């Protein structure tokens, strides 16, 4: 029978554990059956129950416990951290769930709470990340932003004239992404570079995608001019909105980025969770929610395989659809809005290669529709050393949830070789492929409407529930998720 592990006070990360970083000294909680006695009910009475122990749940938990509240953090997985975990192989190799470096938020109180634990000799501190991109068969090592200079001369000249002449507002006043990108960047850049990139990445037509969807892939701006010319043109607000700096070294402000010198990003999650437990928070892992009680439009308890957990308030960081189903509220919704939102599956292809990469980039985005992969993170370039002399890389790709085609590690290595990232003779010394179900949004116009209807339905009918996290569907980046929570709870 599966058990729920409950963590409180003792919280000892074990970096050598198999499969996952976040394994701790445990107090095993055996599921109870039947009536709970009064003492048990008291011990499972919380001010706040948070569902989902990804970064959204952890940050909400930290903010609540520091206000002195009694908090339970509940997750169905065996370890906490969600996409911020680190996968550890039985041999002790570390792989993250994508490119997940830490970046300060620029709010002193929040940065202290979250990053004090990484401001030490065990972590690298970066002023900027060496990021690049691949497009039109070319690896650009200077910037992650699409570079128009790779176009044929006639196309390039036309594209730059159109870009300079475009007078559109970059963010507002459009019905679809295709309309927005054409108006802001001109037809040539849209047709030649931006449309193929967004359609590759979202598996959807740009005519169906909602405005600003391209921001999820850092496609807010393009490059097109020399270093000096770009600086001059960016002084014009209209061009500043659509033109990126010539290099990833410029325009970074004073924000610091962090990555551990050894191991993976999951160590950060371990630090945050130990703070949470030290302040009295309780963590329920491997804990399945089987139902919930609602009284006078308030969720009063969660029914779980660890018993009934009572709450004053509920923080929900997983799919709103699941809350609608558990409370039968989905029956109130029109048919289209009662469905799960459309999220793609993410593939994480963890590779160890016997040769050093040919690039010094920390990561690059691949916008070229010829290749399945979207991004590669090169750990030895970030950490400055290898684990046992081999070079680890995590490659991300996407597929539709219903697609049964498998992505193979050997095909992905061949793509990296073809893109000039590893030498021809490279061989795999280790690989592991993970598929994360429904993890990347496809923000079509219909998705946005459906998401809004679901969120409104919950807000109107459940008065003690707060919705946060990526799964809510209207925010995606980790720091946006964190800021949203911080601004609501402080
Ligand atoms: C492939 C990929 C690449 C990304 N790259 C970047 C990037 O470069 N930069 C960036 O800022 N952001 C990136 N993100 C987004 C970033 O990962 C998220 O913003 C952040 O991790 C979201 O945290 P979360 O807590 O909302 O969700 P998650 O990390 O998904 O955590 C959700 C938690 O809920 C738990 N859970 C799920 N179902 C249940 C259930 N029924 N009951 C209980 N618990 C449940 C899960 O086990 C998990 O622990 C990326 C995301 C993906 C998918």
User: What is the distance between the alpha carbons of residues 54 and 276, in angstroms, rounded to a whole number?
Assistant: 13
Q: How many distinct helices (H) and strands (E) make up the chain?
A: 15, 22
Same domain? 326 vs 358 = no
Strand runs (DSSP E) across 170-297, as ranges? Answer: 257-260, 282-285, 289-295
User: The domain spanning residue 454 has which CATH number?
Assistant: 3.50.50.60
| Centre of ligand 1 from the C-alpha of residue 221, in Å | 26
User: What is the distance between the alpha carbons of residues 263 and 93, in angstroms, rounded to a whole number?
Assistant: 8
Q: Kindly report the average pLDDT of the chain as a whole number.
A: 90
Would you give the DSSP letter of residue 223? B
Q: Which helix (H) or strand (E) holds 373?
A: strand 373-378
Probe ligand 1: pick from 4, 304, 318, 438, max atoms within 8 Å of CB?
Answer: 318
Same domain? 349 vs 428 = yes
Higher pLDDT, 339 or 119: 119
**Ligand 1 shell residues, CB under 6 Å:** 51-57, 74-77, 82-84, 98-99, 289, 317-318, 322, 346, 396, 439-440, 469-471, 476-479, 481
Containing structural domain, residue 375: 123-130+343-441
| Centre of ligand 1 from the C-alpha of residue 243, in Å | 30
Ligand 1 atom 35 nearest Cα: 52
Positive or negative, the CA dihedral 331, 332, 336, 337 is negative
Q: Give pLDDT tens digits for 95-131.
A: 999 778 999 999 999 999 999 999 999 999 999 999 9
Atom from ligand 1 closest to the CA of residue 52: 34
Alpha helices in 335-427 (DSSP H): 379-383, 409-418
Same domain? 106 vs 28 = yes
Q: Give pLDDT tens digits for 196-217.
A: 999 999 999 999 999 999 999 9
Q: How confident is the model at residue 178 (pLDDT cuts 50, 70, 90)?
A: very high
Any domain includes 28: yes
Atom from ligand 1 closest to the CA of residue 472: 26
Same domain? 152 vs 218 = yes
User: What is the distance between the alpha carbons of residues 275 and 297, in angstroms, rounded to a whole number?
Assistant: 33
Strand runs (DSSP E) across 116-185, as ranges? Answer: 123-126, 131-135, 138-140
Does this complex have an ipTM over 0.90? yes
Question: Is pLDDT at 377 greater than 60 in this prediction?
Answer: yes
Any domain includes 257: no
Residue-level pLDDT at 10? 44
Q: Give pLDDT tens digits for 146-170.
A: 999 999 999 999 999 999 988 777 7
Same domain? 33 vs 9 = yes
Q: Give pLDDT tens digits for 392-423.
A: 999 999 999 989 999 999 999 999 999 999 99
Atom from ligand 1 closest to the CA of residue 317: 26
Q: Look at the chain and report how many structural domains it folds into.
A: 3
Any domain includes 251: no
Residue 465: strand, helix, or coil: strand
User: The domain spanning residue 164 has which CATH number?
Assistant: 1.10.3110
User: What is the distance between the alpha carbons of residues 94 and 15, in angstroms, rounded to a whole number?
Assistant: 10
Any domain includes 42: yes
Any domain includes 254: no
Ligand 1 atom 36 nearest Cα: 52
Probe ligand 1: pick from 327, 376, 478, max atoms within 8 Å of CB?
Answer: 478
Same domain? 210 vs 149 = yes
């Amino acid at each position: 029978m599966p058990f729920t592990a409950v963590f409180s006070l003792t919280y000892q990360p074990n970096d050598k554990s198999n499969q996952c970083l976040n394994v701790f000294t445990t107090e095993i909680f055996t599921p109870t059956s039947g009536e709970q006695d009064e003492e048990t009910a008291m011990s499972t009475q919380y001010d706040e129950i948070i569902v989902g122990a990804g970064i959204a749940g952890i940050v909400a938990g930290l903010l609540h416990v520091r206000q002195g509240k009694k908090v339970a953090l509940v997750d169905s997985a065996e370890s906490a951290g969600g996409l911020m975990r680190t996968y550890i192989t039985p041999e002790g190799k570390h792989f993250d769930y994508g490119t997940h470096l830490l970046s300060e938020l620029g709010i002193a109180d929040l940065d202290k709470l979250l990053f004090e634990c990484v401001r030490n000799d065990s972590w690298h501190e970066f002023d900027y990340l060496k990021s690049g991109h691949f497009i039109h068969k070319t690896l650009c090592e200077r910037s992650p932003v699409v570079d128009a200079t790779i176009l044929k001369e006639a196309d390039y000249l036309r594209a730059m004239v159109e870009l300079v002449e475009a007078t559109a507002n970059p963010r507002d006043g459009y019905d679809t992404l295709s309309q927005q990108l054409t108006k802001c960047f001109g037809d040539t850049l849209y047709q030649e570079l931006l449309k193929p990139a967004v359609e590759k990445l979202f598996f959807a037509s740009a005519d169906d995608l909602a405005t600003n969807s391209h921001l999820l892939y850092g496609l807010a701006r393009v490059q097109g001019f020399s270093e000096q010319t770009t600086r001059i043109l960016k002084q014009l607000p209209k061009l500043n909105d659509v033109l990126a700096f010539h290099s990833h070294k410029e325009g970074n402000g004073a924000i610091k980025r962090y990555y551990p010198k050894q191991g993976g990003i999951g160590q950060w999650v371990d630090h945050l969770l130990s703070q949470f437990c030290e302040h009295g928070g309780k963590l329920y892992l491997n804990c399945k929610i089987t139902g919930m009680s609602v009284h006078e439009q308030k969720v009063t308890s969660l029914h779980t395989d660890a018993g009934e957990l009572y709450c004053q308030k509920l923080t929900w960081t997983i799919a709103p659809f699941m809350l609608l189903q558990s409370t039968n509220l989905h029956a109130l919704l029109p048919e289209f809005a009662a469905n799960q939102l459309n999220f793609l599956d993410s593939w994480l292809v963890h590779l160890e290669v016997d040769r050093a990469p040919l690039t010094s980039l920390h990561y690059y985005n691949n916008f070229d529709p010829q290749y399945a992969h979207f991004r590669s993170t090169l750990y030895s370039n970030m950490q400055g050393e290898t684990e046992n002399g081999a070079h680890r890389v995590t490659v991300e790709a996407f597929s539709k949830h219903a697609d049964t085609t498998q992505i193979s590690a050997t095909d992905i290595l061949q793509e990296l070789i073809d893109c000039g990232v590893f030498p021809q003779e490279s061989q795999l010394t280790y690989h592991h492929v993970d598929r994360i179900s429904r993890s990347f949004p496809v923000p079509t116009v219909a998705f946005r409407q459906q998401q809004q209807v679901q969120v409104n339905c919950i807000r109107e009918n459940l008065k003690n529930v707060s919705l946060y996290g990526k799964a809510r569907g209207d925010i995606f980046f980790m720091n946006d998720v964190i800021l949203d929570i911080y601004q609501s709870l402080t």
